[in-house]
Amino acid sequence: MLDAALSLLMLAAIALVGGAVFLFRRGERQRPVLMLTLAGVMIINLIIWTLPDKGGDTLIGAAQSGPP
């Protein structure tokens, strides 16, 4: 279930970047910057969940295995 949520997070970030580029080309400034900021926050959150720590474990693995 968490894999699906992270996949949707990545797809939403890609859609936000595409929408920001589209709006930027139409001459808008504020909304594209906010959309790119949100996409950046989403991508950083995705990286935090998927990067392994020094022991080789990820937050995804810890969440799927449950409490110790």
Q: Is a pLDDT exceeding 90 seen at residue 68?
A: no
- Residue 11 φ/ψ, nearest 5 degrees: -65, -40
Do residues 50 and 60 touch, judged by C-beta distance below 8 A?
A: yes
1 pLDDT tier (thresholds 50, 70, 90): confident
The Cα-based distances of 31 to 18, 21, 22, 56, 66 in angstroms read 12, 10, 11, 39, 39
Q: Is a pLDDT exceeding 90 seen at residue 62?
A: no
The domain segmentation of the chain, as residue ranges, is 14-51
pLDDT, tens only, 36-51: 999 999 999 999 988 8
pLDDT, tens only, 6-36: 999 999 999 999 999 999 999 999 999 999 9
